[in-house]
Amino acid sequence: MTGKHHTQKASDSAMYFTLWRWHFYAGIFVAPFLIILASTGLAMLLLTNISGKDLDRTVVNVQATTATIEQQAASAINSVTAPDVANAQVVQYISPRAADTVALFRIKAEKNGDSIDNMVLVDPYTATVIDSFPRQSNWYYVFDSIHGDILLGTVGDYLLETAASLTILLIITGLYLWWHRQRNLKTMLLPKAQPKRSLWRVIHGTLGSWVSVILLFFCITGLAWAGIWGEKMMQAWNQFPAGKWGVEPLPQSTLVVDFAKKSTPRTNSNQATTHEMTTHGKSLNDGGSKDAPWALEQTAMPISNQANKQANLPTLNSINQQAQMLGFQGRYQIYQPKGETGVWTISQDSMSYDMASPTADRTVHIDQYSGAVLADIRFDDYNAMGKFMAAGIALHMGTLGWWSVLANALFCLLVIVLCIAGYMLWWQRRPTAGLRSLNPPARNKVASLSWQFAIILPLLAALFPTALVAVMAIALLDWLLISRIDWLKQLLK
């Protein structure tokens, strides 16, 4: 029995040190990205609640009457008008968030062959222009760009997706390591007094236990925007089916693809048989922004039918009145039709900071020729994954009210402290002779892994492709170079 017990203990110890090394190497890569994501996330959280991402919280004096939408739009267009500016037009209108805040107009124009894309803040009572600036040029969008792809485009997006995927591995191994040391949930969350030299280990382990589930949730909801796991895997299989608009008659004849049936749509004699498919993402997202609700981003847009053309075409003012009659209140967005087959779109969703509750998400499409409602899509129409992501993104972005703002701010700070504590742990363990080695845990020990982890970890890697690619690349690099070159072996192993 003693020999068997000794063998089991040795096996457990070997697995512990193996997972510790995995945790160490993953942490070395992941921690800088987590600090960047937490810092930029905190900055965006504060900016949206202080000034608004487009300064839409700018305050105005409340008056008895408001100017018409046409008057406000004319002032916005005049703000960019100049002899060398042509084709200025409103492409998006954002209604005031409250009675004492500005209305926003997005104005596109051409100047000497270059495009102008400005956000214009207008006093809704006097139609006075308060401010005008190039779209996505303020600090919110700087932090948003860093948060989305660390200013490296597609490469940065893949790096962040890899970091988020490896963070899930980091969470699992970290919880196991702390459980192995504490042996019960109470001491994991509320550890007993420890020697001073163990302070950073206690901070790291305890904070990790407290924030692990929330961090896992943030990783999943953050990955929903990622280029591979989110766009290619999750969104592609969880989009709102374009053949189920919930409006009679179903506008299949005006859609390029019926995602519900995967068939070629019907056409009528007054309409061309083919046209380029436009999705919500292509139509509403512009300049890197994510304005289309996640569950609709890859869903085809309906199109306007010129056969229904009326003598008096819908205008921004009439569409705004129609939006209010349909029940839209507070901050909502109206998008102008794009091209001859485009539609008016009225959108209100928590992902765009329009309102607090994701269950109130609503997108309405209106025929630009007849003013008929082609689609009225609400939260209840999303599938299970779409509902989860709408609610998850609201939690991720802290749009559910002041309690979620404070909770998210605290979480961001705790993640930063967690990462710093991890680095401090490594610094305390570093070689006294200098930095000739990273001094990973259990140096020169043979790796060992239980069959449970041997199944779970590859499965997790397979679910998150960039993590699998990263692990395989590291293993190949280890086999080809690190294990064969002495100074690399000394540094890393």
Residue 334's region, left for phi above 0, alpha for psi from -120 to 50, else beta, is beta
Cα 160 from Cα 174, distance rounded (Å): 20
- Show me where the domains of the chain are located: 2-48+145-226+402-492, 69-137, 239-382
Q: Average pLDDT, stretch 29-47?
A: 96
Q: What is the pLDDT of residue 327?
A: 95
pLDDT exceeds 80 at position 211? yes
Percent of the chain at pLDDT above 70? 78
Which range has the worst mean pLDDT, 38-47, 55-64, 81-90, 122-131? 81-90
pLDDT exceeds 80 at position 141? yes
For the chain, what is the mean pLDDT? Answer: 82
Q: What is the pLDDT of residue 241?
A: 59
Q: What is the pLDDT of residue 342?
A: 92
Cα 346 from Cα 369, distance rounded (Å): 16
Residue 433 pLDDT level (bands cut at 50, 70, 90): low
Q: Average pLDDT, stretch 17-40?
A: 89
Q: What is the pLDDT of residue 239?
A: 61
Q: Which two tokens stand for residue 384?
A: 């299970």
Which range has the worst mean pLDDT, 160-174, 204-218, 265-279, 398-412? 265-279
pLDDT exceeds 70 at position 321? yes
Q: Give per-residue pLDDT as tens, 154-182.
A: 899 999 999 998 998 899 888 888 887 77
pLDDT exceeds 80 at position 15? no
Residue with tokens 């309906």: 302
pLDDT exceeds 80 at position 194? no
CA 176 to chain centre: 29
pLDDT exceeds 50 at position 226? yes
Regarding predicted confidence, which is higher, 1 or 483? 483
- DSSP single-letter state for residue 359: G
Regarding predicted confidence, which is higher, 335 or 242? 335
The overall longest dimension of the chain from CA atoms, in Å, is 94
User: How far from 398 is each of 48, 197, 291, 358, CA to CA, in Å?
Assistant: 10, 37, 16, 11
Q: Give per-residue pLDDT as tens, 413-429.
A: 999 999 999 998 888 87
Q: What is the pLDDT of residue 266?
A: 37
Q: What is the pLDDT of residue 256?
A: 37
Q: Give per-residue pLDDT as tens, 65-74.
A: 999 999 999 9
Q: What is the pLDDT of residue 9?
A: 55
pLDDT exceeds 50 at position 85? yes
Sign, Cα dihedral of 27, 33, 34, 36: positive
Q: Give per-residue pLDDT as tens, 340-371.
A: 889 999 999 999 999 999 999 999 999 999 99
Sequence letter at residue 486:
D
Q: What does the buried/exposed string (b/e) look like for 66-98 if buried means 16 or more CB atoms within 10 Å of the residue's CB? A: bbebeebbbbbbebbeeeeeeebebebbbbbbe
Kindly calculate the radius of gyration of the chain based on its CA atoms and give it in whole angstroms.
Answer: 27
Q: What is the pLDDT of residue 273?
A: 39
pLDDT exceeds 90 at position 117? yes
- DSSP single-letter state for residue 92: E
Residue 258 pLDDT level (bands cut at 50, 70, 90): very low
Q: Average pLDDT, stretch 323-334?
A: 96
Residue 25 pLDDT level (bands cut at 50, 70, 90): confident
Percent of the chain at pLDDT above 90? 46
Residue 186 pLDDT level (bands cut at 50, 70, 90): confident
Regarding predicted confidence, which is higher, 209 or 258? 209
Q: What is the pLDDT of residue 431?
A: 63
Which range has the worst mean pLDDT, 254-263, 267-276, 295-304, 447-456? 254-263
Cα 197 from Cα 428, distance rounded (Å): 9
Cβ atoms of 453 and 225 closer than 8 Å: no
Secondary structure (DSSP) of 119-176: EEEE-TTT--EEEEEETT-SHHHHHHHHHHHTTSHHHHHHHHHHHHHHHHHHHHHHHH
Regarding predicted confidence, which is higher, 50 or 239? 50
The residues that bridge with 59 in the sheet, in sequence order, are 101
Which range has the worst mean pLDDT, 10-24, 279-293, 379-393? 10-24
Q: Give per-residue pLDDT as tens, 446-478.
A: 555 555 666 776 677 667 878 778 877 877 777
Q: What is the pLDDT of residue 250?
A: 41
Q: What is the pLDDT of residue 254?
A: 39
- Strands 129-134 and 114-122 come out as antiparallel
Q: Average pLDDT, stretch 426-438?
A: 67
Q: Give per-residue pLDDT as tens, 94-115.
A: 999 999 999 999 999 998 888 9
